Amino acid sequence: MSISSSWQWQIKNALKTEKDFKKIFSLSREEENGFRLGKDIFNIQATPYYVSLADPHNVNDPIRRMIMPLEAETKDLLETQEDPLGENKNRPVKRIIHRYKDRVLFLATDFCGIYCRYCTRKHFTGGGEVFPKKSEYQEAIDYIKEHKEIKEVILSGGDPLTLSDLKLDKILSDLDEIKHIDLIRIGSRLLAACPMRITKDLIKVLKRSKPVVMMVHFNHPNEISDLTREAFSLLVDSGFQVLNQMVLLNGVNNHPAIIYRLSRELLKSRVFPYYMFQCDPSPGTSHLRTSIEESLKIQEELWGRSSGLALPTLSVDIPSGGGKSYLSPNHIVLKNDKGYGFKGFDGVSAFYENPPKSMRLEPFLSGEDIKIWE
């Protein structure tokens, strides 16, 4: 195995400065200014592997746009965007975000392999700790233990796969011991930034008594290489479910053909599209965001053309902690007391008539149903 194929090497040798990037790319004025004006505001970092996926001669390259700072990023720095999802309101302890009753985010690290220019958590990723302080860690575990309504823990951050196997093993075995947890998700961009992170040793760490689901993050088919396919195979052959969460990005993937191609590529590797997110309005992201209208139009075109398995769900995080809202193309054209009128994607119209209200029955609820739904 050559040295550059180890994930630790990739992270250690990541490009960070204008000088590093100039070795590969000839920088535009906008990009140079992005480095000079932005270097003290937001982290800049990309692994040599990820950079190798970009065309160094094309300023419009999608990979380049996701990692290269631009002057525009230093312009719209509104205070209100610091915490675009209002996550701090749903943060009972420092490392936990608890917005939905049955699942929490566990911010297991502040560190990432690459710093995406559109990051939702720009206000803290990269700035702080590689691993939580002992007290913060224990506080998070205790919170999960005390809240029996929590069924799923989503490891997030930062990128939890930047933690060593040893640290991950510690977190997963602590969670494994909490009886009311059914499932653990790991949200990671590292499969795109550094697929060599998926090693046989990591697989051993991930194999626990409780199911671990891998939530990956790919936005463009150019992010998928032979190494990515190997990593997907290793995960899926070992029995892990892999789901993709993507972000719609202006000038990167804002066309249904790109999303379609990405989804088909993922399906070939047995990875299923899950969410397609509206980009969050974190500071300095206006040039990377699509409008809601454009996102809906992309979703509508995909609905008509794409296999359901290849179709991610478009969703926007309501700013200020409102949670997710699905964005669905509206096919309802009529509503009356008998039912609903629809017009399908290719123009076919029809009416769905409700059954008579008097026919409705209450189902039999078991004691467990009643308890769980209180």
Ligand X SMILES: *Cc1c(COP(=O)(O)O)cnc(C)c1O
Residue 121 is a catalytic residue: yes
Minimum separation from the CB atom of position 249 to ligand X (A): 18
Q: How far apart are CA 209 and CA 223, in angstroms?
A: 32
Residue 159 is a catalytic residue: no
Residue 65 is a catalytic residue: no
Determine which one of 64, 65, 95, 116 is catalytic. 116
Which of 63, 51, 124, 53 lies closest to 94 in space, CA to CA?
Answer: 124
Which of positions 227-286 make contact with ligand X (CB under 6 A)? none
| Comparison of 11 and 311: residue with beta carbon closer to ligand X | 311
Q: How does strand 313-318 pair with strand 183-188?
A: unpaired
Determine which one of 119, 189, 275, 289 is catalytic. 119
Determine which one of 91, 324, 340, 343 is catalytic. 324
| Comparison of 103 and 287: residue with beta carbon closer to ligand X | 103
Q: How far apart are CA 371 and CA 353, in angstroms?
A: 34
Beta bridge partner(s), residue 326: 315
| Comparison of 245 and 269: residue with beta carbon closer to ligand X | 245
| Comparison of 97 and 192: residue with beta carbon closer to ligand X | 97
Q: If binding is defined by CB under 6 A, does position 196 make contact with ligand X?
A: no
| Comparison of 105 and 252: residue with beta carbon closer to ligand X | 105
Which of positions 318-347 make contact with ligand X (CB under 6 A)? 324
Minimum separation from the CB atom of position 191 to ligand X (A): 18
**C-alpha 21: how far from chain center:** 25
Determine which one of 95, 99, 189, 289 is catalytic. 99
Which of 254, 265, 185 lies closest to 218 in space, CA to CA?
Answer: 265
Minimum separation from the CB atom of position 151 to ligand X (A): 10
* Cis check: omega of the bond before 158, within 30 degrees of 0: yes
Determine which one of 103, 117, 122, 189 is catalytic. 103
229-236, long-range: CB < 8 A, 24+ apart:
229/269, 230/195, 230/198, 231/191, 231/195, 231/196, 231/197, 231/198, 232/191, 232/269, 232/270, 232/271, 233/269, 234/198, 234/200, 234/203, 235/198, 235/203, 236/269, 236/270, 236/271
Residue 208 is a catalytic residue: no
Minimum separation from the CB atom of position 274 to ligand X (A): 7
Residue nearest ligand X, CB atom distance? 99
Residue 64 is a catalytic residue: no
Task: Using CB under 6 A, pick the residue from 103, 117, 121, 287 that binds ligand X.
Answer: 103
Number of residues that bind ligand X (CB under 6 A): 7
Residue 280 is a catalytic residue: yes
Determine which one of 22, 100, 210, 274 is catalytic. 100
Q: How far apart are CA 66 and CA 75, in angstroms?
A: 17
The DSSP result for 278-322, as a single string, is PPP--TT-GGGPPPHHHHHHHHHHHHHHS-GGG-PEEEEEETTTT
Minimum separation from the CB atom of position 317 to ligand X (A): 6
Minimum separation from the CB atom of position 108 to ligand X (A): 14
Residue 99 is a catalytic residue: yes
Which of positions 83-102 make contact with ligand X (CB under 6 A)? 97, 99-100
CB-based contact 110:122 (threshold 8 Å): no
| Comparison of 105 and 248: residue with beta carbon closer to ligand X | 105
> What secondary structure letter does DSSP report for 364?
P
Which of positions 149-168 make contact with ligand X (CB under 6 A)? 154
Which of positions 15-44 make contact with ligand X (CB under 6 A)? none
Minimum separation from the CB atom of position 154 to ligand X (A): 6
Task: Using CB under 6 A, pick the residue from 14, 53, 68, 105 that binds ligand X.
Answer: 105
| Comparison of 22 and 324: residue with beta carbon closer to ligand X | 324
167-170, long-range: CB < 8 A, 24+ apart:
167/131, 168/202, 168/205, 168/206, 169/205
Phi, psi at 39, each rounded to 5°: -65, -25
Minimum separation from the CB atom of position 97 to ligand X (A): 5
CB-based contact 292:327 (threshold 8 Å): yes
CB-based contact 47:10 (threshold 8 Å): yes
C-alpha distances out from residue 154 to 41, 138, 239, 319, Å: 28, 16, 19, 20
Residue positions annotated with a catalytic role: 99-100, 103, 112, 116, 119, 121, 280, 317, 324
Binding site for ligand X (CB under 6 A): 97, 99-100, 103, 105, 154, 324
